[in-house]
A and B are shown apart, each in its own frame.
Chain A
């Protein structure tokens, strides 16, 4: 193994580890917004690391540009989808208010808020089966 291979391996393993972290956070965190943090954020760095590792391994072949493109797209698109999902989550009140230390946005819950929350699924019932 050359030095480049070692660097690439470290990048690949670290990136994969961050993907595992995303899964773990997704299972353990209490509400949608927290899960958004877990799912999208370590993964951005994870994808960047994996792509870096792959570029190091595959350098010299024309197709590495595609990997760069994937990384750039990931950087551009992850915030957009995260924002869209989190905004909908907040407005549907899929947020555990009791776990918030501060809530300065404070959209007042409308009178029918429980009904509105039930329109989809419960924001956070007691964790089912194995929670």
Chain B
């Protein structure tokens, strides 16, 4: 099981590093929203792997919170940008 843990954490860690690279590179705000979302989901996966491998359930509420936070965060930022868009352009078809 330790081998599984090492392999999983290596894969997740590499994924997280790549996501962080995109988070740093941008170039737009939306790219960063997407990568933050992906990063939080990766963290949730990491917590789940930890819980599973060591049969330790103390972190599971954190798992739930992180998974929901990813959703709430990306939706609120996307809506915020959408609002800026409506204000910036003020064309009728943009206002849905």
Chain B residues within 8 Å of A32, by CB:
28, 30-31, 34
Shortest Cβ distance from A17 into B: residue: B11
Establish whether residues A120 and B29, one from each chain, have CB atoms under 8 Å apart when the complex forms. Answer: yes
Q: Is the interface of B mostly helix, strand, loop or mixed?
A: helix
Nearest CB in chain B: distance from A5 CB, A: 7
| A47:B57 contact, CB within 8 angstroms | no
Contacts of B84 in A (CB 8 A): 119
CB-contact partner of A81 in B35, B52, B67, B75, under 8 A: B75
- Chain B interface residue number, banded: 35 or more
Decide if B21 touches A27 in the complex (CB within 8 Å). Answer: yes
Tell me if B18 and A27 are in contact (CB < 8 A): yes
Given A74-B67, A122-B27, A124-B27, CB of A22 within 8 Å of CB of B42: yes
Residues B52 and A12 in contact, CB atoms below 8 Å apart: yes
For the side of the interface on A, what is the size category? 35 or more
Known contacts A43-B41, A121-B27: A8-B52 contact under CB 8 Å: yes
Whether A110 touches B38, Cβ cut-off 8 Å, given contacts A12-B4, A57-B55, is no
Asked if B25 and A120 sit within 8 Å, CB to CB, the answer is no
B residues with a Cβ closer than 8 A to A are 1, 4, 7-9, 11-12, 14-19, 21-22, 25-31, 33-35, 37-38, 41-42, 44-45, 48-49, 51-53, 55, 57, 60-61, 63-64, 67-68, 70-71, 74-75, 78-79, 81-82, 84-85, 88-89, 91, 93-94
Given contacts A80-B75, A85-B30, A85-B33, 20 further A-B contacts (CB under 8 A): A8-B52, A13-B4, A13-B11, A15-B45, A19-B41, A20-B18, A23-B22, A27-B21, A39-B35, A56-B52, A57-B55, A58-B57, A67-B60, A70-B44, A84-B78, A88-B81, A120-B28, A121-B26, A128-B25, A128-B27
What are 5 inter-chain pairs, A to B, with CB distance below 8 A?
A: A22-B41, A32-B30, A50-B48, A80-B71, A88-B82
